[in-house]
Amino acid sequence: MTYFTAETSSFLACHRLAEAMLPPPRLRALLEASGGDPEAALASHTGLTPRQIERLERAAKATPNPRVWEQALAWDVTALVCTSPDYPQDLRHFDDSPPILFVRGKLPATPGLAIVGSRRATGYGKGQAVRFAQVFAEAGFTVVSGGAAGIDTAAHKGTLEVGGATIAVVACGLDYIYPAENRQLFEQLVAQGGAIVSEFSVGTKPEPWRFPARNRIIAALSQVTVVIESPEQSGALITARNAAEYGRDVWVVPGPVDTGRSRGGHRLVQDGASLADSPEDILEALAVMPRAINLALPLEVEERVPEQKPLPELPPDEAALLTQLSSMASGLDDAAEAAGLAPAQALVAATMLEMKGLVQRQPGNQFRRS
């Protein structure tokens, strides 16, 4: 594991690198050139402009606030660099992904689905956020949101109520609780196997411009972004735009047309987002893997040859699914049926196998053994 704890000098180097506020591609290049060693990266100026070098040197010499470190130690805050094998796979492939993530708690291994929306949510919006979050969590997904008031809070609470794991991506240092009324929620989130994450160093205040910046992390950590009750000027629309730019699906839960509270989301549907009447709509869409038929090959070549060797080191669902896949790409539905798995279970298992490098996803949402 290459998490750095607040007790290590490497954590301090991560903090100082984040304090320098370098463009993500530049900081990532520094870390890669330094073999993932934040202390070596802190001393390197490779590829930086004079102004960036000045900021880096200023951050390297800064004396940390004792209160910040006391809180980081008390909450067991860790830092995770982009070169680590533990760095989230969903973030790896984007140029603007954070080179350093500060983490409180544990990043769940299950794939993420984002739920975002208005802070000034109505009872209807909060109820839908709870409803969708609970179904997603019971299907084995991690619910990702921003920890803010309104829809975010409802999504986190709904997940926790059914024993699920959730991630809150915040727009400040992990020593801040924002909003303050979510202190107990964040404690329960961490205790229940979830995580609070931020790209901002400890001691960073929740300034307005940081919220749109953090939204890209919510989108990147999630296979799908679900927008609930979003007016035209909502930050949730930024998350949806980030998701679309990353090639991720965007779904919108419809709302009343006479209040304006869902107008932004409705316009997303006009622009091509999908409409979700229920969480099952999304789970069914994720599980639809069209069957691939190659007429140029003999039929016997297309038949999967189940792997007879047991795989005790894998969870039961993953092992069962893996035995039904071969080196020939095929859809997930037949393999799920043969493995005795529901479509949602099979999707989670296939995603986990992909993250472990045991299967590969092919065009058309086909899967094959690596």
**Considering the domain boundaries, does residue 78 fall inside one?**
no
Give yes or no for a contact between 181 and 158, defined as CB atoms under 8 angstroms apart: no
Q: What is the pLDDT of residue 300?
A: 35
Distance between CA atoms of 238 and 78, rounded to whole angstroms? Answer: 28
Which CATH number characterizes residue 310's domain?
1.10.10.10
Q: How far are the Cα atoms of 83, 99, 219, 266 from residue 96, in angstroms, in the given order?
A: 15, 9, 12, 28
- The residue with tokens 């472990």 is 356
Is the model more confident about 306 or about 268? Answer: 268
**Considering the domain boundaries, does residue 217 fall inside one?**
yes
**Considering the domain boundaries, does residue 103 fall inside one?**
no
Helices and strands per DSSP (H, E), number in the chain:
17, 12
**pLDDT tens track for 49-73:** 999 999 999 999 988 778 777 888 8
Give yes or no for a contact between 125 and 229, defined as CB atoms under 8 angstroms apart: yes
308 and 242 together in one domain:
no
234 and 339 together in one domain:
no
* Domain end (from 287, 322, 337): 287
Q: Average the pLDDT over 101-119 and give the result.
A: 95
141 and 184 together in one domain:
yes
309 and 276 together in one domain:
no
Q: Is pLDDT at 293 greater than 50 in this prediction?
A: no
Q: Is pLDDT at 332 greater than 80 in this prediction?
A: no
* Domain end (from 287, 315, 333): 287
**Considering the domain boundaries, does residue 241 fall inside one?**
yes
Cβ count within 10 A of residue 274: 15
Query: Which of 228, 244, 213 shows the shortest CA–CA distance to 143?
Result: 228
Ranges of H-type helices in the chain: 9-19, 24-33, 38-42, 50-61, 66-74, 89-92, 123-138, 151-161, 183-191, 210-220, 236-245, 263-270, 279-287, 299-302, 316-322, 332-339, 343-355
Q: Is pLDDT at 81 greater than 90 in this prediction?
A: yes
Q: What is the pLDDT of residue 290?
A: 31
Distance between CA atoms of 89 and 139, rounded to whole angstroms? Answer: 21
335 and 265 together in one domain:
no
Burial-class residue 21 by CB neighbours within 10 Å (0-12, 13-18, 19+): middle
**Considering the domain boundaries, does residue 131 fall inside one?**
yes
279 and 305 together in one domain:
no
Q: What is the pLDDT of residue 351?
A: 74
Q: What is the pLDDT of residue 362?
A: 62
Q: How far are the Cα atoms of 25, 89, 305 from residue 92, in angstroms, in the given order?
A: 12, 5, 33
* Domain end (from 287, 320, 350): 287
361 contacts: CB under 8 Å, gap ≥ 6:
350, 354, 367
279 and 151 together in one domain:
yes
**Considering the domain boundaries, does residue 123 fall inside one?**
yes
Distance between CA atoms of 160 and 142, rounded to whole angstroms? Answer: 11
47 and 155 together in one domain:
no
Domain with 364 in it: 299-369
**Considering the domain boundaries, does residue 102 fall inside one?**
no
pLDDT band per the 50, 70, 90 thresholds, residue 95:
confident
**Considering the domain boundaries, does residue 143 fall inside one?**
yes
Distance between CA atoms of 42 and 73, rounded to whole angstroms? Answer: 22
202 and 253 together in one domain:
yes
Cβ count within 10 A of residue 355: 15
Which CATH number characterizes residue 230's domain?
3.40.50.450
276 and 361 together in one domain:
no
Distance between CA atoms of 116 and 191, rounded to whole angstroms? Answer: 22
Domain count, the chain: 3
Q: Is pLDDT at 337 greater than 80 in this prediction?
A: no
Q: Is pLDDT at 19 greater than 50 in this prediction?
A: yes
Give yes or no for a contact between 286 and 347, defined as CB atoms under 8 angstroms apart: yes
**pLDDT tens track for 139-148:** 999 999 999 9
**pLDDT tens track for 160-187:** 999 999 999 999 999 999 999 999 999 9
Q: What is the pLDDT of residue 359?
A: 80
pLDDT band per the 50, 70, 90 thresholds, residue 309:
very low
Q: What is the pLDDT of residue 363?
A: 53
Q: What is the pLDDT of residue 328?
A: 67
219 and 187 together in one domain:
yes
Q: Is pLDDT at 132 greater than 90 in this prediction?
A: yes
63 and 152 together in one domain:
no
Q: What is the pLDDT of residue 364?
A: 52
